[in-house]
A and B are shown apart, each in its own frame.
Chain A
Amino acid sequence: MAQNVNFDLSHPLIEAGLESPVDEEGVHDSFSQLIAEQSQNEGLSDAFELQQLQRQLDEEDRDDVAFLSSPGHDFRERRPMRRDVEWQDNEGQADPLVGERWSSATMKVLSSMPSRTIGRSRGAIISQYYNRTMQLRRRRQSRPAIRDFSRSARPSIRGYGFEVDSTDAEVSKRDRLVNNLQNLSVSDRVRMLRGMPLSVAEKSELRSLALQKEKRTLSGSQIPCCSQLKYYIIIGARHSWYSWLNFLHSLHLWQVALKTVSGRFGTGVLSYFLFLKTLLFFNVFLFLVTGAFMVLPQAVHPPVLPAGRSSFSGLELLTGAGYFSDTVMYYGYYCNYTLRKSCRDDGGVQNVSLSNGTRLDCVSKHLSYNMPLAYFFTIGVAFFITCIILVYSMSKSFGQSFRIDKSHSILAMKVLCSWDFKVIKKSSVKLMSENISTQLKELLAEVNQKKVKNTACQKLGRLMVHGLAWTICIASTTACVLAIYYFSGYMHKNLQQSSLSADKNPLLTEASLLALPVVVSLINLLLPGLFNLAAWMEDYESPSVRTYVAICRNLMLKVSVLGLLCYHWLGRVAAEPKSIGLKCWESFVGQELYRFLLMDFIFTLLDTLFGEFLWRLFSEKALKRRRKPVFDIARNVLELIYGQTLAWLGVLFTPLLPAVQILKLLLLFYVKKSSVMMNCQAPRKPYRVSQMTTVFITLLCFPSFLGASVCVTITMWSITPSSSCGPFRELKTMFQAGKRWVEELEKDNPNLSVLARAHSYLVENPFFLFVGAGIFLIVIYFHSQVVDGQRKIISLLQEQIENEGEDKKFLITRLQSIHEKKRTPARRLTSQDSSC
């Protein structure tokens, strides 16, 4: 570092006790320190005079600063002369760069710095993306060498490629970029092109150039005719795949409705409707799978039904029993033998036994359909695929919303990232502006004020209020759960008695079955209101904490209610089905679930009617409030999750339940949409959409789906199926169907004994499950360590960025001073003479 460097700066800082710049070990951690050292050597007056000289110089050769751009730029980057505006006040700032008046040469260099040109010219963008594609290619092809990694902390010229931004260079850069693009895989290329901030015309040109080159290189070499045919087939397949994707994309469901909702309410309320749409797709998938593999084969080969079927009366739609109980809707209808296509035209008679002996002569083996096996495997595979889809969407959503470091820039994010571009309606835009200004004022007040320390008394008071609220919630939940327990026990006894008694009014019995679902739905409706009151009493400061607490309490209620109901069905009904006169307890449980689903839907409609419509009328007319009620997103989403859990619980017993759920969701969408448009307004508190979406998908996966699958697994593993109905009669557990099939395979083909043994070890031995869980936990631990390491790297990189900023300032002022020295050697001599 030279000792006689001059810095023409506005204010020299003198700090005592600084090392001399000759001492290289001295660490300059602040720019001002450096200035101070230099000025200590040079003296104050020099710097000041030089500053005056600097001003004179700039006044005399002030170029048109606006057009210091190199040729070949777009017309887009006209830069007005703005340095004039912020000149004076920066004397007192510690930051000499902003507002300095630089000479034209410095300005030229400044304006062609890579960080400033990236936004401007096409050439700069192309060279930036050339670098990126180069890196991507290196990464994809081989392990990159250590020296290819990004530069070290201190600036080294090696890492910086100096590019002169002329048109020739641009064309060659573009060719090289096209070459790189061509060498990437298709998905990488598409992703790179998509991310480039160029116009559509340029991007399509690049893409066509890249594809053209590919075709040329391919046709250049001699391809034998067969592989040319294969090449054309592949191209054709790809085209048809893209057109299929286009078609799927055009089948947008509810496009206009979603746009209207988002135009009026923004992204928060939209997320509820998007969640509904997701659930609809899950159910459609489930319905297609069960319909194709279970319902359809059974419907085509109807079994011989027992006599005494009741006729259709309207009550079936509510209770699901009666006429519906002997249809393909319920478990009891399904046969336990292999369906075979008969040779006779009346399409009726099937074999009674599974494997041996047939009364018909013309049986074809590959047209047989093993119903119990199909039932078992369809349910298993459907659940497995649903699990995979759920975990995948959960991890994707989590990845998008996870913030690796605690964000400090709340205010910055609120100013720059919070405007919701989806909102279209004028009044909603106005409302959003008001909301944002209120939130900014609150944040500003929070940041400015010192946090008011509560006294110990106040803290204790708050703690007591929280404790009271939680006690109320937990007590009410426990009370309701106990109430449901006793009520279900009472209904069970009722059924037992009525099955024993001689005269039964079947309609009344069926109607009484509706009592339990009504009670449960009523509790689900009223208790969240109580939780809201408790939260209002507690008065949380932070809206997100309030939302999480509300979700927690609602979740607790619903999980305990569902757990109790599962115990009631599997523990009481399935254990002794004969005591309530049931021949087929699975069908009964399926009917119960149908009733619960239906009652849940009816009560949601009632809640929409009373909670939103009438409440709005009431608050407008009676309370004379101007604001409509707020749409409670969290509560509505939890209702959806509860309904979906019921649907998943019921698929085993009622294969057509997904269809019922689909109808329910379709109707619910339109009802909720019209209610929201008429009666509600957007939430006033800030709503973190992606975080909340992640939370909801996680809730859908973990308590909801996991609970349902655990329940179904327990049913399949350990509960005895009924002996007179369903595809698993005469088996000890449903699981035996799969086991028996493997045994059959082994019998037929002894080579497959390995498979059978593997099956028995893997699936039945719990040791394997423990090992699997252990490996899973270890993998999670490693990943969490990786995340910790990445956090540390982020903080190191931030420090590095700050240092680079300091370096940049240093170099710029150094450049300026060298320019100064070159320009007026004579003047300096005279001024130095005068100061001596």
Chain B
Amino acid sequence: MPELKDNPFRQRIAEVFSEDGEGNMTLDDFLDMFSVLSEMAPRDLKAYYAFKIYDFNNDDFICKSDLEKTLNKLTRNELTEDEVRMVCEKVIDEADLDNDGRLSLEDFQHMIVRAPDFLSTFHIRI
């Protein structure tokens, strides 16, 4: 599918939206995916699924290792180890509200509210 062919998060997107968590999508899952990634989806819904996509280990929290994996996918491993570590620390510092060392769904949604561009970037045109 050309829209996701080169997207670094395509594996995670497939896993999140598939019924069995492995990446095999039925037609309903496919529809789900495109409806969430469309223009009309409300912000909270998009934030919820974005959170699930970035949560690599599926524990409902974005912890440091999840952030590291996200960063590496974003930058194609161009940042050094130190830089990755520092960025992850700073991110958790900034976004973690209840001080448990990782980002919960509420923290993530709180950050999304303050990022108005999210709605336009978390969107695939078909």
Say whether A associates with B: yes
Q: Which A positions have Cβ atoms within 8 angstroms of B?
A: 75-80, 82, 85, 93, 95, 97-98, 115-116, 118-120, 191, 194-197, 199-201, 258-259, 262-263, 267, 400-403, 405, 407-413, 415-422, 424-426, 429-430, 433-434, 436-437, 440-441, 444, 447-448, 688-691, 798, 801-802, 804-806, 808-809
B24 is an interface residue with CB less than 8 A from chain A:
no
Whether A416 and B50, one on each chain, are in contact in the complex, defined by CB atoms closer than 8 angstroms, is: yes
CA A28 to CA B76, docked complex, whole Å: 45
Q: Which residue of B lies closest to A688 (CB)?
A: B117
With a cutoff of 8 Å between Cβ atoms, the chain A residues found around residue B11 in the complex are none
Taking A417-B117, A424-B2 as contacts, is the C-beta distance between A440 and B8 under 8 angstroms? no
With a cutoff of 8 Å between Cβ atoms, the chain A residues found around residue B28 in the complex are 199-201
CA A417 to CA B124, docked complex, whole Å: 14
Whether B60 and A412, one on each chain, are in contact in the complex, defined by CB atoms closer than 8 angstroms, is: no
Could you tell me the distance in whole angstroms from the C-beta of B61 to the nearest C-beta in chain A?
8
Query: Is chain A's binding surface mostly helix, strand, loop or mixed?
Result: helix
**Residues 80-107 (chain B) with a chain A CB within 8 angstroms:** 83, 86-87, 90-91, 94-95, 97-102, 104-106
Q: Which residue of A lies closest to B30 (CB)?
A: A200
Report which residue of B99, B111, B123 has the largest number of chain A beta carbons within 10 angstroms of its beta carbon: B99
Whether B117 and A689, one on each chain, are in contact in the complex, defined by CB atoms closer than 8 angstroms, is: yes
Could you tell me the distance in whole angstroms from the C-beta of A265 to the nearest C-beta in chain B?
12
Whether B125 and A259, one on each chain, are in contact in the complex, defined by CB atoms closer than 8 angstroms, is: yes
Whether A690 and B116, one on each chain, are in contact in the complex, defined by CB atoms closer than 8 angstroms, is: yes
Q: Which residue of A lies closest to B52 (CB)?
A: A119
Whether B21 and A421, one on each chain, are in contact in the complex, defined by CB atoms closer than 8 angstroms, is: no
With a cutoff of 8 Å between Cβ atoms, the chain A residues found around residue B101 in the complex are 93, 95, 97-98
CA A498 to CA B48, docked complex, whole Å: 73
A-contact bits for B1-42, CB 8 A (1 contact / 0 none):
011011111000000000111000000110110010100111
Whether A798 and B97, one on each chain, are in contact in the complex, defined by CB atoms closer than 8 angstroms, is: yes
Taking A411-B87, A689-B120, A690-B117 as contacts, is the C-beta distance between A806 and B99 under 8 angstroms? yes
Which one, B52, B65, B98, B114, contacts A804 given CB within 8 A? B98
A-contact bits for B110-126, CB 8 A (1 contact / 0 none):
01101111111111111
Q: Which residue of A lies closest to B17 (CB)?
A: A199
Whether A119 and B51, one on each chain, are in contact in the complex, defined by CB atoms closer than 8 angstroms, is: yes
Could you tell me the distance in whole angstroms from the C-beta of A395 to the nearest C-beta in chain B?
14
Taking A75-B20, A120-B60, A417-B112 as contacts, is the C-beta distance between A433 and B94 under 8 angstroms? no
Could you tell me the distance in whole angstroms from the C-beta of A346 to the nearest C-beta in chain B?
55
Report which residue of B59, B70, B120, B122 has the largest number of chain A beta carbons within 10 angstroms of its beta carbon: B120
Q: Which residue of A lies closest to B92 (CB)?
A: A412
Which one, B7, B75, B78, B114, contacts A407 given CB within 8 A? B114
Whether B100 and A805, one on each chain, are in contact in the complex, defined by CB atoms closer than 8 angstroms, is: yes
With a cutoff of 8 Å between Cβ atoms, the chain A residues found around residue B3 in the complex are 424
With a cutoff of 8 Å between Cβ atoms, the chain B residues found around residue A80 in the complex are 57-58
Question: Using a Cβ–Cβ cut-off of 8 Å, how many residues does chain B contribute to the interface with A?
Answer: 73
Which one, A75, A417, A422, contacts B21 given CB within 8 A? A75
Whether A415 and B2, one on each chain, are in contact in the complex, defined by CB atoms closer than 8 angstroms, is: no
Q: Which residue of B lies closest to A262 (CB)?
A: B125
Could you tell me the distance in whole angstroms from the C-beta of B106 to the nearest C-beta in chain A?
7
Which one, B49, B86, B97, contacts A444 given CB within 8 A? B86
Count A-B contacts at CB 8 Å: 198
CA A434 to CA B77, docked complex, whole Å: 10
Q: List 12 A-B contacts (CB under 8 A).
A: A95-B99, A119-B51, A200-B35, A409-B91, A411-B91, A413-B114, A421-B121, A429-B7, A433-B74, A433-B78, A436-B74, A437-B76
Could you tell me the distance in whole angstroms from the C-beta of A94 to the nearest C-beta in chain B?
9
With a cutoff of 8 Å between Cβ atoms, the chain A residues found around residue B112 in the complex are 417
With a cutoff of 8 Å between Cβ atoms, the chain A residues found around residue B105 in the complex are 115, 118-119
With a cutoff of 8 Å between Cβ atoms, the chain B residues found around residue A75 in the complex are 19-21
Could you tell me the distance in whole angstroms from the C-beta of B97 to the nearest C-beta in chain A?
5
With a cutoff of 8 Å between Cβ atoms, the chain B residues found around residue A79 in the complex are 57-59
CA A679 to CA B86, docked complex, whole Å: 38
With a cutoff of 8 Å between Cβ atoms, the chain B residues found around residue A98 in the complex are 63, 100-102
CA A688 to CA B42, docked complex, whole Å: 20
Whether B97 and A200, one on each chain, are in contact in the complex, defined by CB atoms closer than 8 angstroms, is: no
Given contacts A426-B6, A433-B76, A691-B116, 18 further A-B contacts (CB under 8 A): A75-B20, A95-B100, A95-B101, A119-B105, A196-B45, A200-B28, A400-B116, A403-B114, A405-B114, A407-B114, A412-B111, A415-B67, A417-B112, A430-B76, A441-B83, A688-B116, A805-B99, A808-B100
With a cutoff of 8 Å between Cβ atoms, the chain A residues found around residue B119 in the complex are 400, 690
Taking A115-B106, A447-B90 as contacts, is the C-beta distance between A437 and B79 under 8 angstroms? yes
Could you tell me the distance in whole angstroms from the C-beta of A623 to the nearest C-beta in chain B?
27
Whether B21 and A440, one on each chain, are in contact in the complex, defined by CB atoms closer than 8 angstroms, is: no
Could you tell me the distance in whole angstroms from the C-beta of B99 to the nearest C-beta in chain A?
5
With a cutoff of 8 Å between Cβ atoms, the chain A residues found around residue B87 in the complex are 411, 415, 440, 444
With a cutoff of 8 Å between Cβ atoms, the chain B residues found around residue A97 in the complex are 100-101
Which one, A93, A417, A422, contacts B123 given CB within 8 A? A422
CA A456 to CA B59, docked complex, whole Å: 53
CA A85 to CA B35, docked complex, whole Å: 36
Could you tell me the distance in whole angstroms from the C-beta of B60 to the nearest C-beta in chain A?
4
With a cutoff of 8 Å between Cβ atoms, the chain B residues found around residue A448 in the complex are 86
Q: Which residue of A lies closest to B121 (CB)?
A: A420
Taking A447-B90, A689-B117 as contacts, is the C-beta distance between A809 and B100 under 8 angstroms? yes
Whether A437 and B90, one on each chain, are in contact in the complex, defined by CB atoms closer than 8 angstroms, is: no
CA A809 to CA B100, docked complex, whole Å: 8
Whether A409 and B111, one on each chain, are in contact in the complex, defined by CB atoms closer than 8 angstroms, is: yes
Q: Which residue of A lies closest to B70 (CB)?
A: A415
Q: Which residue of A lies closest to B76 (CB)?
A: A433
CA A401 to CA B114, docked complex, whole Å: 9
Could you tell me the distance in whole angstroms from the C-beta of B121 to the nearest C-beta in chain A?
5
CA A194 to CA B32, docked complex, whole Å: 11
With a cutoff of 8 Å between Cβ atoms, the chain A residues found around residue B7 in the complex are 421, 429
Could you tell me the distance in whole angstroms from the C-beta of A574 to the nearest C-beta in chain B?
45
Which one, B5, B19, B45, B106, contacts A195 given CB within 8 A? B45
With a cutoff of 8 Å between Cβ atoms, the chain B residues found around residue A801 in the complex are 97-98, 106
Whether B42 and A421, one on each chain, are in contact in the complex, defined by CB atoms closer than 8 angstroms, is: no
Could you tell me the distance in whole angstroms from the C-beta of B93 to the nearest C-beta in chain A?
9
Taking A76-B21, A97-B101 as contacts, is the C-beta distance between A421 and B37 under 8 angstroms? yes
CA A410 to CA B87, docked complex, whole Å: 11
Which one, A194, A441, A690, A806, contacts B40 given CB within 8 A? A194
With a cutoff of 8 Å between Cβ atoms, the chain B residues found around residue A116 in the complex are 60
